[in-house]
Amino acid sequence: MAGAPAGRWDVESVAAELLACEDERREREPFTDEWPGLDLDTGYAVQDLNLAKRLERGEKLVGVKLGLTSRAKQQRMGVHFPFVAWLTDAMVLPVGDPVPQDRLIHPRVEPEIVFVMGERLEGPGITCAQAMAAVESVWGGAEVIDSRYKDFRFTAGDVAADNASSGAFVTGPVGLPPSELDLALEAVLVEVDGVVTDSATGAAVQGHPGEALALAANDLARRGHAIEAGWVVLTGGMTDAVFAPPGSSTALHFTNLGSVFLAGGEG
Ligand code: OOG
Ligand code: MG
């Protein structure tokens, strides 16, 4: 693509371009190549504008996701702090469905600890213990991330604008009250085409996934939002993500939260 004339990009045009890339399954270079001023707060402004557009076109807000909460993810993506993005019902993948290749560009799968909220959680100043007290149930999950940027190359501003590479997510078969688990020690094995390629425990996520939930509540408070009762919270990839091309099969095996199977589907 020809370089854009300087000054072409602002919150509105970046938001429109990102939704168009998503709808057309088109990847692009990161905006910060041309607009270094796209910082994290500007990225959040883009994210919020596109949430409004998603809701306008009939999607429902169902929760939030955290990005880059584990060292494995931060190192791979080259962005060294966590951030928050929106989940709508259009991103819910029914259990047993394959990776929705027909609407994604270059899907990758990552294991996540997922919370369903029993109570509203409003920052600032939320601690891990307060956050966990608001959780109704804990699930294992698979997030199918899909960056609109070529080769997943981005800065913090780019990826916040891109709703943290949101694509789809599916939750596992077992939901437990948080009191029944030691989440720091809950492990996951990542199995790709029958071979275990990676593993981690919940401690990989900020020391405890409840810390990620607290972080989300405190970060959202800066943006004027709370985490609502009934919302789903994806606490962030515990390991690096794995590619999930057509024909692949990914399984995520959790200690107490069951296994999540994802077929790569057809191209
Ligand atoms: C950014 C999305 C990060 C996670 O769990 O860390 C994310 C990316 O890796 O493309 O969903
Ligand atoms: Mg994720």
pLDDT, one tens digit per residue, over 199-211 is 999 999 999 999 9
pLDDT of residue 8: 87
Ligand 1 atom showing the smallest separation from residue 241 Cα: 9
CA 19 to centroid of ligand 1, rounded, Å = 18
In short, whether 73's Cβ falls inside 6 Å of ligand 1 is yes
**In the structure, what pLDDT confidence band is assigned to residue 184 with cuts at 50, 70 and 90?**
very high
Ligand 1 atom showing the smallest separation from residue 70 Cα: 6
68 Ramachandran zone, left/alpha/beta (phi>0; psi -120 to 50): left
In 3D, which of 101, 139, 111, 127 has the Cα closest to residue 248?
101
CA 140 to centroid of ligand 2, rounded, Å = 12
pLDDT of residue 7: 76
Ligand 1 atom showing the smallest separation from residue 68 Cα: 6
Over the stretch 132-167, which tens digit does the pLDDT of each residue have? 999 999 999 999 999 999 999 999 999 999 999 999
**In the structure, what pLDDT confidence band is assigned to residue 267 with cuts at 50, 70 and 90?**
confident
In short, whether 178's Cβ falls inside 6 Å of ligand 1 is no
CB atoms within 10 A of CB 3: 9
Mean pLDDT of the chain: 96
Ligand nearest to the CA of 205: 1
**In the structure, what pLDDT confidence band is assigned to residue 6 with cuts at 50, 70 and 90?**
low
Ligand 1 atom showing the smallest separation from residue 76 Cα: 9
Q: Does residue 45 have a pLDDT over 90? A: yes
**In the structure, what pLDDT confidence band is assigned to residue 265 with cuts at 50, 70 and 90?**
very high
pLDDT of residue 23: 96
Q: Which residue has the higher pLDDT, 182 or 7?
A: 182
In short, whether 67's Cβ falls inside 6 Å of ligand 1 is yes
> Is 147 exposed, middle or buried, given 0-12, 13-18 or 19+ CB atoms closer than 10 A?
buried
Q: Does residue 22 have a pLDDT over 70? A: yes
CA separation for the pair 56, 173 (Å, rounded) = 32
Over the stretch 65-77, which tens digit does the pLDDT of each residue have? 999 999 999 999 9
Q: Percent of the chain at pLDDT above 70?
A: 98
Over the stretch 102-128, which tens digit does the pLDDT of each residue have? 999 999 999 999 999 999 999 999 999
In short, whether 146's Cβ falls inside 6 Å of ligand 1 is no
pLDDT of residue 3: 46
pLDDT of residue 1: 37
